[in-house]
Each structure stands twice: as structure tokens, then as C-alpha cells.
Amino acid sequence: MIETGIPKLDEFLGGGMPKGKSLVYFIQPGVEGEVFGMQTVYSALKNGRNCIFVVSSTIPDIIRGQFKEFGWDINSYNETFFCVDAYDPLIGAPSKEKYVVSNPESIEEFSKMIINIIKDSPPTTIVFGSLSTIIDLCGEKETISAVRDWNKMAMLYDHVMIYNFTAWPYSEETLNSIKGDLFNAVISIGGIAERVIFGQYFGILKSDWTKEIKKSMLFRVLRPGGIKLYIPKILVTGPFDSGKTTFVHALSTRAISVDRLGTTIALDHGHVDYKGFSADIFGTPGQERFDPIIKLLSGESMGVFLIVDSTNPTDFVRAKQMLEITKSYGLPMVVVANKQDLPGAMAPEEIRKQFNLPQDIPIVSVVATDKKGVFEAFEVLIDKITEGRI
């Protein structure tokens, strides 16, 4: 399986792409989607695979500069990375690339170059930086017909074909072909705006080698860093002195708290970068007078950590109240059984009985002061958040 390098996408695709398959990133106009093809290139190179990048919308040196912006050093892959220059000839400039399309406005010239590469190269990941530009230059029907031929040839020679396509207002026939039978897999990349959340997402429209996938993921594009899965807001709540602030700081790459005499009187705010995920987390004070804040943040959050002190069952009544506040919004939730290193700490299953919690709400053992279990809890919550569609 050839990995795309996009967080979670390879998991959704069953490990990546089999050799001989084709995939299109179907990008909504206005969304920063071209990076998907670039990140796939870098992933292929890192995994020791040959890669060819077809450049048709700008000069190859600018593309190399964009790789550098994302923190991806492709200069060390000179033996395995090559560009197909389909831009310099268009503006009458000389090209220094190994592969040059002499007339980028001729689909015959384009096709001749691509098919020769397919026939003459070892199994390679071939990425088209902008299929839309080729369509604009060569025509819709002509390009779709050529792509069909390229994909068939790639299947015979064990290449993987990746295309960036921006869905400008082309004909219905062209758009239906691209979303239909032209490619083995179609990854939709679009924008979303709902209440306070605005972001970009990707999801699988089609994949003929995996089971039907009903998941979408929010993402953001970082420079450097590339595509990071993005969770706009995770709530951390729980009774007074349960360890919320310690948990937020243990989980975060950076965090800030507003407190007085060691007690949180406003919000804890942290940011997490972990295994391709980028998330903002907010911890609430535990006192009842701050319950309106919990209600407000719950309505804008995508998941909740409920922190409980495993050694202090007298606080469980208060924890149940807070649980009901957040449960009313139907949010994915993980109960964090904190202070598991202290004498008298109750085991997760004992806590489950005390709370009368159903089995579908996970309870994770944590020692926040030593960061034990905090990232395990984060992974469990992320899995629950991503179980359904966004």
C-alpha cells in the first residue's frame, strides 16, 4: 500500500493506495487543497518511492519553494524526484527539467509525455499539481479522455496516479466523470461554516478498494507542517481540585491559566499538537457559579473531558451534575480518572458503577502530574469525535 501521508486518510483507505490505482483530490474553490498533492509527494519520497510531479500552473522552481515553505526538503531526493514542466514552454521560457511538455496546450503532446514516463519508469507515484489547469489548456472532453488512458496504463505498470482538481464550474458531464468512474478513489475537500466553527474538511466520496467510509475530518494547513487535523474546541471540565489545570498543561504544547491563590478563576486554555492533530482545549473552573460557562462552551465544543479525582468519591455528586450539563448537548465524552497514583484511588470500573455510566463512555486512568495516560485519553476522545460525520 502506498501512503498518501495525509493524517487519518491512509487509515480510512485501509493503509493507503494499492499499486495501479488512481485518486483525485476534488477541491472546492476557495479551499486550500493543492497541498494535499504536495504532501502526498513528500510522503512518497520519505517512504523511498520514486515520485514525479506534473507542474502546469507555475514554474517548477516556485513549486520547490512551496515545498520548502511547508518544511519539506525535497533537495535531498534528487535521484527519486522529478518535475514534468508543462508551464515554462507555455510562457516561452527555457526549462531545466528532465521532462518537458513542448506544447502544454496540446493534449496529444501532454499525453505522449505522460505515457512515455509510465512506460519507462519503475513503479512511481505520479502527482498532477493541477488537473484543472490542464483541462483549461487542452479542453474538457480531450483531457478526460487522456486521463482515462493514463490511468489504464498506470494500472498495467503498477504506478499510483494522484490528481489535484479544483471544481470550477465545468460542465456537468466533466464533473460527473471525475466524481464517477474516472478514478478509483475521490477525496472531497471543502469548507464548512456552522455556528462559531469555520474550517476546511476532507472526506472520502469513493474508494473502490475499501468499505464505504462515512467519516470527514476538519483540517488546517500549517507552514511549516502541512495538513494537520483540526479540532476547534475540546472542553475540560470537572469538580474543584480534580486536576483540570494539571491535565490541560500536561496535554498541551503550550497553555495558559488564569488563577488566584492556585485556583482557576477563569479559563485554562491549551493547544495540542499530537500525531497529526491540532486541537484547542479549554478548562473550566469547578465551582457551581461557573456552570453558565460550561453550558456556553459545551454548545461550541466537539468533545469533552470530564476530570474526576479517583480518591475523592464525595465529589462524584458534583461531577454527575457537570456530566449532565455536557451530556445534554450529546457531545463525545471521555471520563478521566485522575490521581490514580494516590492511595485509595478507585479503579475505572468502580467509578463507572458510581456514576452508572454506560459502556460507550470510556474511562481512562490518568496521573496528570506525571503525564501518564493523558495522551491515551486524548486519542480515545479523538476516536469518538471522528466516529461520525462532521
Of the listed ranges 12-21, 73-82, 292-301, the least confidently predicted one is 292-301
Residue count (the chain): 390
pLDDT band at 195 (very low <50, low <70, confident <90, very high): very low
Cβ atoms of 117 and 52 closer than 8 Å: yes
- Whether residue 308 is predicted with pLDDT greater than 50 in this model: the reply is yes
Run of H or E residues at 370:
none
> For 122-154, what is each residue's pLDDT tens digit?
999 999 999 999 999 999 999 999 999 999 999
The C-alpha atoms of residue 238 and residue 294 are separated, in whole angstroms, by: 10
pLDDT band at 261 (very low <50, low <70, confident <90, very high): very low
pLDDT for 220 equals: 86
Which amino acid type is present at position 225?
A: G
Query: Which residues of the chain form CATH 3.40.50.300?
Result: 9-224, 230-385
Distances (CA, A) of 2 to 158, 214, 243: 11, 22, 43
Q: How do beta strands 216-222 and 22-27 pair?
A: unpaired
Task: Enumerate the β-bridge partners of residue 307.
Answer: 336
The C-alpha atoms of residue 217 and residue 389 are separated, in whole angstroms, by: 8
pLDDT for 300 equals: 63
- Whether residue 241 is predicted with pLDDT greater than 80 in this model: the reply is yes
- Whether residue 92 is predicted with pLDDT greater than 90 in this model: the reply is yes
pLDDT for 123 equals: 95
Q: The domain 9-224: what is its CATH number?
A: 3.40.50.300
Of the listed ranges 173-187, 236-250, 284-298, the least confidently predicted one is 284-298
Average pLDDT estimate for 55-78: 94
- Whether residue 295 is predicted with pLDDT greater than 60 in this model: the reply is no
pLDDT for 198 equals: 52
- Whether residue 332 is predicted with pLDDT greater than 90 in this model: the reply is no
pLDDT for 344 equals: 93
- For residue 6, what is its C-alpha cell? 495525509
Q: What is the mean pLDDT of the chain?
A: 88
The C-alpha atoms of residue 284 and residue 90 are separated, in whole angstroms, by: 58
- Whether residue 292 is predicted with pLDDT greater than 80 in this model: the reply is no
Of the listed ranges 61-65, 227-231, 349-353, the least confidently predicted one is 227-231
pLDDT band at 328 (very low <50, low <70, confident <90, very high): low
Task: Enumerate the β-bridge partners of residue 54.
Answer: 84, 128
Q: The domain 230-385: what is its CATH number?
A: 3.40.50.300
pLDDT for 89 equals: 95
The C-alpha atoms of residue 51 and residue 41 are separated, in whole angstroms, by: 6
